[in-house]
Amino acid sequence: MANALDQSKTKAAVSWPAWTAALACLLLSLVFILHLLVLPFGRDQAIFAVVADTMLAGGAPYKDAWDFKTPGIFFVYACAQLLFGPAETGLRIAEIATLCLGLWAAYRISAEAVDRRAVFFIAPVFLFGITQYGFWHVGQPEVFGAALVLLAICLSSMPQALWAVAALYVCAALLKPPLGGGILISYAFALYAAAKAGGSWRGTVSVTLQFALGAAAVLGALFLYLKITGSFEDFYWTLFVFTPNYTGVGNVQHQLAGLAGLFIHGLKKLVMNWPVLSAGVFLFLGLGLRGWTVAKWSLHLILVAGMTLLGVALQAKFFPYHYAATVGLCAVLAGWGYWALYIRLARWPLGGLLALCAMVVPMFLSRASLRYWENGVALASVAFAPPQERAAVTDKLYSTGSMDRRSNLDAVAWARKHVPEDEPIYVWGFEPIIYLQSGRRPASRFIYNVAQRAEWSAGQTRAELMRSLEANDPFAIFVQSQDIMPAVTGSGLDSRQTLDREFPELRALLGSGYTHAADTGRFRIYQRKP
């Protein structure tokens, strides 16, 4: 049966004043890219950047700079800093380049399944879906993983590139483990294609060997890196001892729901929080699903998206950035839906405009999307304002309940002014951005204090922290308040309360070796006694 979308190519040639629709979509995409380019780091991005700095200085993740994420994101940030510089803009350039790679994959898939011009509708949906929650939710492992998974699906139709498909999925898993689950789907599609092409056992063996080779190459390279840098033991403890307990914080809260209930809950949040995706996918299912080719590709996308959504459910932590890979895959289907609507309306007066409106209007229908536009208008309104006025707006936009941008900047300014460049500092809190922006090195591999505040790791890691502080003798210690994060630490105490109630060793060090030097917003700063 002919693909209905393919038929449109000859029927109306899409009244190729379709260039006006393409231009509108490109301009909208450019708006999203420019907004992404100016976003500062959130807390997670600062962590990744500090670990990357350590790697580029000759250290290793986990051993010399600790975080409990899988290692892929540290390599991404290290490469971004190496190529584009250490500033926040350098990472954003790398992020935009990665998203464009994902859009290229969507273009190649669309060219075979639907129509290459559908990418004009995919692009704004894809970019808006990933960026609509703002600075805290971009630059995350899932964002980079979305592009890798799309590229893996794109290459899965090339028999000679199946090793690369497996390698891409493993790289995605090293960014966030659930993102690798799609390898099972693409492997099954590759086996089906091999059986359809010849049906001999040699085809099955060839597919399996390629997948095994690609996966083994990436995992082998990681193992060698960890062994050579001496960080394997710390890597193992972090990911197989600490992280399962961290994941359990969310699972305890949702244990009565069961996996099926968690999956449905995650699906509901996806549908409600990204209406531009929901509307586009419904349009695609109603208007576009015709013919074997488009059905094959859409099934592949849907099943892999389902695997990534299952990964969100398994974590039982429904942070918006956890959805980035699912959003990226669904954006392709949604873009096809808006394209299908466009080719049906474009032959009528104002029909093309109505189709564009059908895509743009859902971008204003959720609370998060409205906040995105409000923040964009606020930024634009002070683009040429005096620095103080602009700072007042950005401080408000880029703060959260547990993170205050102005407090961080004031602490950074104090460190730059009072701490010699060759002296270390230590932040007892959750703001490693102070190390990053002040240019002062951390006095411990624990660049933030979740490991010392979490019940399951506090005893061991507090003892190690004290040994590090005694050995490195930081010039200043910053103690943070109001950084309460029960979903991360499992505790309702902030850093200062934890210090006062549960950490007498650090309290004794501050009392004997340091004097109270300053208070900057949420930080109390102690300076080493002469």
How high does pLDDT run on average in the chain? 90
Cross-strand bridge partners of residue 65: 61
Mean pLDDT score, 471-479: 96
Please say whether the beta carbons of 25 and 120 come within 8 A: yes
**Residue tagged 């600062």 (tokens):** 46
> Measured between alpha carbons, how far is 34 from 96 in angstroms, rounded to an integer?
10
Cross-strand bridge partners of residue 523: 480, 520
Instruction: Output 229 or 387, whichever has higher pLDDT.
Output: 229
Statement: residue 308 has pLDDT above 50: yes
> Measured between alpha carbons, how far is 405 from 411 in angstroms, rounded to an integer?
10
Helix/strand/coil (H, E, C) string of 45-89?
HHHHHHHHHHHHCCCCECCCECCCCCCHHHHHHHHHHHHHCCCHH
Which of 57-66, 85-94, 195-204 has maximum average pLDDT?
57-66
> Measured between alpha carbons, how far is 402 from 34 in angstroms, rounded to an integer?
27
Please tell me the predicted confidence (pLDDT) of residue 190.
93
**Residue tagged 């000859």 (tokens):** 10
Please tell me the predicted confidence (pLDDT) of residue 46.
95
Cross-strand bridge partners of residue 524: 479, 519
* DSSP symbol at 179: G
> Measured between alpha carbons, how far is 409 from 423 in angstroms, rounded to an integer?
19
**Residue tagged 């001999």 (tokens):** 200
> Measured between alpha carbons, how far is 153 from 296 in angstroms, rounded to an integer?
12
Q: Which one, of 274, 526, 318, lies nearest residue 411 by Cα?
A: 526
> Measured between alpha carbons, how far is 490 from 450 in angstroms, rounded to an integer?
10
For residue 498 the two structure tokens come to: 């934890």
Statement: residue 142 has pLDDT above 60: yes
> Measured between alpha carbons, how far is 267 from 328 in angstroms, rounded to an integer?
15
Counting Cα atoms < 13 Å in the Cβ hemisphere of 414 gives 22
Largest alpha-carbon pair distance within the chain? 83
Please tell me the predicted confidence (pLDDT) of residue 248.
61
Which stretch of 15-24, 90-99, 165-174, 396-405 has the lowest confidence by average pLDDT?
Answer: 15-24
Phi, psi of 394 (to 5 degrees): -65, -35
Task: Place 7 in a pLDDT band, splitting at 50, 70 and 90.
Answer: very low
Phi, psi of 198 (to 5 degrees): -145, -35
Please say whether the beta carbons of 459 and 468 come within 8 A: no
- The rounded radius of gyration (Å) of the Cα atoms in the chain is 25
For residue 44 the two structure tokens come to: 């997670």
Please say whether the beta carbons of 59 and 48 come within 8 A: no
